[in-house]
Amino acid sequence: MGILVVGSVALDTVKTPFGKVDEALGGSATYFSTGASYFTDVRVVAVVGQDFPEKHINFLKTKRVDLSGLSRVPGKTFRWEGFYDFDLNKANTLRTELNVFETFKPELPEQYRDSEIVFLANIDPELQKSVLGQVRNPRLVAADTMNFWIESKKPELLETLKLVDILTINDAETRELAGEPNLVKAARKILSMGPKTLIVKRGEYGVLMFNGGSIFSAPAYPLEAVFDPTGAGDTFAGGFMGYVASTMDWSDGNLRKALVMGSCMASFAVEDFSLGGISSLDYKEIETRFREFKKLSHFEDL
Ligand code: AMP
CATH number at residue 248: 3.40.1190.20
What is the C-alpha separation between 210 and 197, in angstroms, rounded?
6
Residue 47: pLDDT band with limits 50, 70, 90: very high
Evaluate whether residue 302 is within a structural domain. no
Ligand 1 pocket check for 275: Cβ under 6 Å = no
Residue 302 Cα to ligand 1 midpoint, Å, equals 43
Evaluate whether residue 57 is within a structural domain. yes
Above 80 in pLDDT, residue 1?
A: no
Evaluate whether residue 168 is within a structural domain. yes
Residue 29 Cα to ligand 1 midpoint, Å, equals 9
Above 80 in pLDDT, residue 210?
A: yes
| pLDDT tens string 105-121 | 999 999 999 999 999 99
Q: For the chain, what is the domain count?
A: 1
| DSSP per-residue string spanning 6-46 | E---EEEEEEETTEEEEEEEE-HHHHHHHHHTTTS-EEEEE
| pLDDT tens string 17-41 | 999 999 999 999 999 999 999 999 9
Q: Which residues in the chain belong to E strands, given as ranges? A: 3-6, 10-16, 19-26, 42-49, 65-73, 78-83, 92-97, 117-120, 140-144, 166-170, 197-201, 207-211, 214-218
Average pLDDT over residues 274-289: 97
What is the C-alpha separation between 129 and 284, in angstroms, rounded?
37
SS3 state of residue 195: coil
DSSP-assigned beta bridge partners for residue 43? 4, 66
State which ligand 1 atom lies nearest to the alpha carbon of 237: 2
Evaluate whether residue 165 is within a structural domain. yes
Residue 89: pLDDT band with limits 50, 70, 90: confident
Ligand 1 pocket check for 80: Cβ under 6 Å = yes
Evaluate whether residue 293 is within a structural domain. yes
Report the share of the chain in percent with pLDDT over 90: 96
State which ligand 1 atom lies nearest to the alpha carbon of 233: 2
Residue 225: pLDDT band with limits 50, 70, 90: confident
- What is the best residue among 90, 146, 157, 204 to mutate for testing ligand 1's pocket, by most ligand atoms within 8 Å of CB? 146
Evaluate whether residue 15 is within a structural domain. yes
| pLDDT tens string 129-153 | 999 999 999 999 999 999 999 999 9
What is the C-alpha separation between 9 and 18, in angstroms, rounded?
24
Evaluate whether residue 112 is within a structural domain. yes
| pLDDT tens string 240-261 | 999 999 999 999 999 999 999 9
Evaluate whether residue 47 is within a structural domain. yes
Structural domain of 86:
3-297
Report the phi/psi class of residue 212: left, alpha or beta, with left for phi > 0 and alpha for psi in -120 to 50.
Answer: left
